[in-house]
Amino acid sequence: EIDSFHYERLEIFLDPSKNENPLKILQNRLKKLGKNAQGILRMEGYYNSEVLGLTEEELKREIMRLCGDRCVDVDKGFRCVDLKIIAEDDIVKKFMKKLEQRNIDEERRRDLFNLIVKAMLELKYGGK
C-alpha cells in the first residue's frame, strides 16, 4: 500500500461469452483500490443487455454511481456496447460456437470476437 495519494488504473474488458456481470467486477476492483488511490477507470467491450437487464445508458449511470468519487473521468473511460441486437443473429451464434471450440489464447479470442462484432455492427448500422 502506497502512503501518498496516487492514481491506479482499473481496466475491465467485457467478454459476453463469459457471462460476467460488469458491476460485480467493478465492485471487486473498487474494494481492492488502495485507500490513498483514485481509480482511472477504463471499461470496454461488449455485453448483452437482455442478460444484464441494463441498457448502455443505465449501465453507465450505475457504474458512475458505484465509482462515486473513487474514480476520475468515468464518463471517458466507459466504452461498452450492447450486443443484444446482434447476439441473437445466427451467424454470430455459429461464429461464437466455433470460436469456443478452438484452442486459442484469450487475447486472440477477443480480437476475433471484436472483428465479427465490428463487421456485424457495420452491416446492421453502417458502423458504430
63-114 pLDDT, tens digit per residue, is 999 999 999 989 899 998 888 877 778 888 888 888 889 899 988 988 888 8
> What residues make up the domain containing 25?
6-84
Q: Is residue 1 in a domain?
A: no
How many domains does the chain fold into?
2
One domain for residues 60 and 120: no
Residues 54 and 23 in one domain: yes
Check whether residue 16 and residue 77 sit in a common domain.
yes
Do 11 and 28 contact (CB within 8 A), yes or no? no
**44 is a domain residue:** yes
Residue 48 lies in a domain: yes
Backbone angles phi, psi at 36, to 5 degrees: -100, 15
Same domain (yes/no): 72, 103: no
The model's pTM is 0.71
100 and 78 share one domain: no
Nearest to 113 by CA among 69, 76, 81: 81
Question: Which pLDDT score, from 0 to 100, does residue 72 have?
Answer: 92
pLDDT digits (tens, 9 = 90+) for 9-36: 999 998 877 778 999 999 999 999 999 9
